[in-house]
Amino acid sequence: MVYRKLAIIGEVGAGKTRLISSMSEIQPFETEAESSIDIGKKYTTVGIDYGRISLSEDSALGLYGVPGQERYSFLWELVKESLWGLLVLVKYGEEPNYQNLNKLLTFFEPQNKEVACVVGVTHCENASDQDLTALNSEIQAILEHHKLVAPVLYVDPRNKESATSLLHVINSINGSFSA
Amino acid sequence: MSNNIEIRAELLDGIKELCQSDRGIVLVSLCTTDGFSIKSFASKELSGEADKLAAMSSTISALSDSSAKQVLANKFDVTIVESEAGNILFVRATYLKLPCVLTVAAKSGLALALARYKTKTLAKKIGSIV
Ligand SMILES: Nc1nc2c(ncn2[C@@H]2O[C@H](COP(=O)(O)OP(=O)(O)O)[C@@H](O)[C@H]2O)c(=O)[nH]1
Ligand SMILES: [Mg+2]
């Protein structure tokens, strides 16, 4: 059995927990706690979100979501090694927390570990093309700063097909790494 | 982002009382289940990263809760980490009706049963503050 590992990172409310529950074949293991501050939703992840997808008869993909806040960096540590892919979710609509994004990318350093990385922009179903283009170029600037090449895609974590399409992109990046 | 939870005198008194009751107690910390520190006291020898400790306590309480629910169909009450140097206890609590975790670390000189009793007593006391 080949077991691969995908880490899903990004700030609070980006859609990490939802994405895993959309994609996973098993009932995901979630660690939600009621939020004591206003973060725009009732529950927040305080541990790991875990889900699984079988890729073929003898291979499976583990989905690992971790909280984005830096005080949870001891959990980032747990999922950082031997990744098949890194998925970075960015929430459209409010000014993204670039400082947080920088911290996450510095920590996971996909460019140095040759880990396939994809950025998924969420909450953007009603965004105008113009706004998306603006966000896209800001994200590109950050990626460049980290010397990181990664496609930026629009995704709806609530939709299984949309979520799964990200996996195909990561898969094809991995194909070109090994070629 | 930070929390603005009122620190009542009864809370401070309760924590102080526990700290002073035995020299083996090196840490007492109360945090919300979503990982924000409310009040924490640590002896000088411990590095005091209250926000990280609060995050860890919230993770452990969530994992404990998931396990207890999965296996015992019940909520968790206490999780204990034992080591040669001492024990860490994580006890479910409420403070001003907020779900919280009370974390206490005691050196091995303090018997686990006693540390557990003292910690649960404080948790009960904190829960009665409304
Ligand atoms: N409208 C909309 N809602 C979304 C989208 N992605 C996630 N959500 C919702 O946003 C909320 C926060 O998502 P969650 O998965 O908890 O975020 P996390 O903090 O990254 O784990 C949930 O209610 C999701 O259903 C999206 O693309 N569009
Ligand atoms: Mg989450």
CATH code of B55's domain: 3.30.450.30
Any domain includes B16: no
CA B7, CA B12: separation in Å to the nearest integer? 7
- The secondary structure of residue B124, as a DSSP letter, is H
Query: How do residues A57-77 score in pLDDT, each as one tens digit?
Result: 899 999 999 999 999 999 999
pLDDT digits (tens, 9 = 90+) for B48-76: 688 999 999 999 999 999 899 889 999 99
Say if B106 falls within a structural domain.
yes
pLDDT at B86 over 70: yes
Instruction: Give the distance (Å) from ligand 1 centre to CA of residue B74.
Output: 28
Whether B118 is covered by a domain: the verdict is yes
Q: Which amino acid is at B2?
A: S
Within 8 A of B55 by CB-CB distance, chain A residues are 46, 69, 71-72, 74
- The pTM for the full model equals 0.91
Looking from the CA of residue A10, the nearest atom of ligand 1 is: 20
Q: How many domains does chain B have?
A: 1
Gap from CA of A162 to ligand 1 centroid (Å):
13
DSSP of A146-167: TT----EEE--TTSHHHHHHHH
Which residues have their alpha-adjacent CB atom under 5 A from ion ligand 2? A 16-17, 45
Range of the domain at B94: 25-127
